[in-house]
Structure 1
Amino acid sequence: MDIVTLVAFVISIYLAGRLAERRGRSFKVWGWIAAFIGPLALPLVFLFPNLHRRNGGPA
């Protein structure tokens, strides 16, 4: 069970970083946030606005 939890945390760190990067945020910052709060960082990424869509792109 411990190894499953560890793998889930590592995957959530990577996913949170990649999702944040696609939304115009820093991979490193969100990787660290995910390291501290775990899988809860994934929905948190979506609560912040998408920075790539602000520059005249369709919503």
Structure 2
Amino acid sequence: MTLALLIIGSILSMYLAGRIAEHRGRSFKVWAWIAAIIGPLALPLVYLFPNLGDRNGNHA
């Protein structure tokens, strides 16, 4: 039972890290692999990098 929860948690953290990274203008695949390697620590790590999603050339 514990192993199943760990596997589900790992897959969920991979998906969430990928989606958050994609929303911030980064690669889904790269961040999903990073989450596969370092686990849930990738979730706060993705917020430490600058948001590339807002760069559309408009300078207020």
Q: So what's the TM-score if we normalise by structure 1?
A: 0.89
Measured in 2, the distance between the counterparts of 1:48 and 1:30 equals 12
Give the CA RMSD over aligned residues.
1.5
Mark the structure with the bigger radius of gyration.
2
Map of 1:33-52 to 2, 5 A cutoff? 33-52=34-53
Q: Structure 1 vs Structure 2: percent identity of aligned residues?
A: 62
Measured in 1, the distance between the counterparts of 2:53 and 2:38 equals 25
Structure 1: gaps spanning 5 or more residues: none
Q: So what's the TM-score if we normalise by structure 2?
A: 0.87
Letter in 1 for 2:46: V
